[in-house]
Chains A and B, each alone.
Chain A
Amino acid sequence: MKKVLGVTLGILTAIGGFVDIGDLVTNALVGARFGLHLAWVVIVGVIGICLYAEMCGRVVAMSGRPVFDLIRERLGPRTGLLTLVASFLVTLLTLIAEIGGVALALELASGVHYLLWMPLAAFAVWLVIWRVKFSRLEQVFGLLGLLLVVFAVALFTLGPDWGQLLHQATRPHPIGHENWATYAYYGIALFGAAMTPYEVFFFSSGGVEEKWTRSDLVTARSNVFVGFPLGGLLSLAIMGGAAVLFLPAGIKVETLGQVTLPVAVALGKLGLAIVLIGVFAATFGAALETALSCGYTIAQYRGWQWGKFVRPREASRFHVVIIVCLVLAMLTLLTAVDPVQVTEYSVVFAAMALPLTYLPILIVANDPDYVGEEKNGPVRNAFGLVYLALLTVASAAAIPLMIITKGGQ
């Protein structure tokens, strides 16, 4: 019974934790501009993150070592350092976007300017990391993030023409004033949003924080194979709502307020209240995860003591990295850059860093030294390689497309 409860809790947390500011903004933006004509990318992305997160979970449960620990070991100090720099910068950029998202959600709820909320948000993130136990922090924000299910309720309430939505989803091509370049650019952005590197750093380090062993493999797998796809459905609901409400009206999504508007239109003030709490929880939870991931990557590359399973003073360099990253995020946002635009760029840069992150995972998941007899089978390896090829293509195409489309315009 307790086991079932644990598994259920894990799944619910995974659903709520799946969606972050990148998913919110990118899915709404793409839904408004392309309808569901890019929905297939979300599905491809979710399968990819399931595939690789499961490998991470297995490596952690069998060896007790998180991903970045192994990246340096398998790639050597030089390539490992390149991976570290790329992953760290992308994660930092995502942290900036998440903190901006928290502040924007508070602005929408209160009417007080987001720049005033921002230092408070960054401080609150630090305080929670400093004082709150890992399992509690993951559960509270994951469960509150589940409130984003209102996006799905809203989509049903809007009463869309399901046939037309299906028609869009099965026709993968640009529409209206869009062209193939913008189509591909936003496809890559969606891919980056679904497979953001920090998700695997956090997932695998979280496994160590919670002291996973072989017997936790079931939990890890159910989180990944049930929780993530349901989280992906949430992403599709966000895209669907925007496709129904904004595409016909010619509205482009540029603010967080617009992201939440379909829920208000469908469900009124109460719906809006719920979605704002959900957005707050999702972005705050993701801010915690990205801030921790900044610390995880550097500390694991260098071999420092890290983690929340020890007292802060025993992992002092890890905590200093987190504090420095939060201060950097705050300073960046104080320049009044638009957090929504930071988000749009962060998911594309995430897509660029993906092959470097995922290659070592594939290698280690095949190494009996780490996973014993729980090695990848031929099917998993075939899928793994296909995705690696896909990630490499997306990564190589990201910058040229960014230039051609002037950042997706």
Chain B
Amino acid sequence: MRRAVAVALLLVLVLSSCADPDQKLRSAAAQSARDAASEVSTTRLAVEQLRAHRLWSQSAGQMVEDAQKGVEKAASSFSSQQPSTVTSTRLYEQVTKTLDDAQTAVTAVRIALGNGDLAAAEQQLTALRRSDADLGRIGELAK
């Protein structure tokens, strides 16, 4: 009897975790957004420190290069998700767009620093902050 209850409980648990595709997507979105936000903030910090003459350009360049790889990883891991309902399709598109924006901003900084063009990198600071805020909101969609 006790065993049957345990099995039933386990089934409910397993089913409830698969049953809600929206929840699964939300959780993947939050995870990717938090990963991407980490890279965006690192990039922002590197540019700010470079502007304040507190960082060497090659170290900053190195950090931003690594950050770009990280954003790409986060974006590609989310893009492999499979949205199956109308709600999750909408979320999927929105999150993909936000991750794309983040990737664009970080890549622009990487290119600017590679060319030694600090001014161009600083121009991305606004975009980076906005991207960080957007990603932050998505990051709170799930634990």
* In the complex, A touching B (Cβ < 8 A): yes
What is the interface of chain A, defined by CB distance below 8 A to chain B?
Answer: 107-111, 177, 179, 245, 249-252, 254-255, 257-258, 260-261, 264-265, 267-269, 272, 409
A51 CB → nearest B CB, Å: 37
Contact: B63 with A261, CB < 8 Å?
yes
CA of A269 to CA of B49 in the docked complex: distance in angstroms? Answer: 10
Assembly CA distance A49 to B21 (angstroms): 48
Q: B residues 19-73 with Cβ under 8 Å of A? A: 30-31, 34-35, 37-38, 41-42, 45-46, 49, 52-56, 58-59, 61-63, 66, 70
- What is the number of residues of chain B that contact chain A, defined by CB distance less than 8 Å? 27
A257 in contact with B45 (CB, 8 Å): no
A258 nearest in chain B by CB position: B42
| Interchain CB contact under 8 A, B56 and A272 | yes
Q: Is the CB of A265 within 8 A of B45?
A: yes
For B31, the chain A residues whose CB sits under 8 A away are 409
| B-chain residues with CB within 8 Å of residue A409 when the two chains form the complex | 31
Whether a CB of chain A sits under 8 angstroms from the CB of B3 is: no
A254–B45 Cα distance when bound, in Å, is: 15
Q: Interface on B for A, CB 8 Å cutoff?
A: 30-31, 34-35, 37-38, 41-42, 45-46, 49, 52-56, 58-59, 61-63, 66, 70, 132, 136, 139, 143
In the complex, A264→B55 CA distance in Å?
A: 6
- A-side binding surface: helix, strand, loop or mixed? helix
Residues from chain A with Cβ under 8 Å of B143 in the complex: 177, 179
A409 to B70, CA, bound (A): 14
Q: A111-B62, A272-B56 are in contact. Are A250 and B42 (CB under 8 A)?
A: no
Contacts of B58 in A (CB 8 A): 108-111
Q: Which of B34, B52, B59, B66 has the most CB of A within 10 A?
A: B59
The listed residue (A245, A251, A269) touching B38 by CB distance below 8 A is: A251
